[in-house]
Amino acid sequence: MITVPAHRIRQFGVEFYQAVFSAADIDRLVRFEVLGYGGAEAAPGATRRPAKATQVNWEVLEKRIGQSEAAYQRPVIRRKIQELLQYYRECREAGNLPAIPGAVIMISEKRLSFKPAGSTPTLGLLQIPEEPGVLRALDGQHRLLALHAAVEQEAFDLHVPAVLFDTLDARQVVELFVTINAKHTRLNPSHLLSLSGRRLYANPHQALAHDIIRHLNEAEDSPLRGDIRMLGVGKGKVTQAAINEEMVDLLEVLQKVGGEAKVREMQHQGKRFFLNYFKGVAQAFPKAWPGKKYSIKTGAALRAFVRVSLEVMARARELKGDAFDAHALRQAVAPWGQRLTDRRFETEGEWRNKLAGGTRGTVDLLARELKDALRRG
pLDDT tier at 37, thresholds 50, 70, 90: low
Residue 196 has a pLDDT of 57
In angstroms, the CA 315 to CA 278 distance is: 15
268/329 same-domain check: yes
Domain around 297: 204-376
Bridge-partner residues for 178, per DSSP? none
Is the pLDDT reported for residue 216 higher than 90?
yes
Is the pLDDT reported for residue 69 higher than 60?
yes
What is the SS3 assignment for 224? coil
Residues 329-358 have pLDDT tens digits of 999 999 999 999 999 999 988 787 776 555
The answer as to whether 194 is a domain residue is no
User: Per-residue DSSP letters for 93-148?
Assistant: HH-SS-S--SPEEEEESS--EEEEETTEEEEEEEEE---TTSEEEEE-HHHHHHHH
121/179 same-domain check: yes
302/365 same-domain check: yes
Mean pLDDT score, 32-47: 56
CB atoms within 10 A of CB 202: 11
CB 7 within 8 A of CB 122: yes
258/340 same-domain check: yes
Residue 51 has a pLDDT of 46
133/54 same-domain check: yes
129/99 same-domain check: yes
178/250 same-domain check: no
The answer as to whether 196 is a domain residue is no
Residue 340 has a pLDDT of 93
Is the pLDDT reported for residue 114 higher than 90?
yes
159/270 same-domain check: no
Bridge-partner residues for 32, per DSSP? 65
Percent share of the chain, pLDDT over 70: 80
263/304 same-domain check: yes
Mean pLDDT score, 213-237: 84
Residues 266-303 have pLDDT tens digits of 999 999 999 999 999 999 999 999 999 999 999 899 99
254/168 same-domain check: no
Residues 161-201 have pLDDT tens digits of 999 999 888 778 777 777 776 554 555 555 555 665 555 54
The answer as to whether 192 is a domain residue is no
Residue 47 has a pLDDT of 46
- Domain termination site, one of 152, 184, 216: 184
Residue 270 has a pLDDT of 93
Of these ranges, 103-117, 199-213, 228-242, the one predicted with the greatest mean pLDDT is: 103-117
Averaged confidence pLDDT in the chain: 82
Query: Cα torsion for 249, 250, 251, 253, to the nearest 10°?
Result: 90
CB 33 within 8 A of CB 66: yes
pLDDT tier at 42, thresholds 50, 70, 90: very low
Residue 179 has a pLDDT of 72
33/98 same-domain check: yes
The answer as to whether 67 is a domain residue is yes
Instruction: Tell me the helix, strand and coil percentages in the chain, rounded to 5.
Output: 55, 20, 30
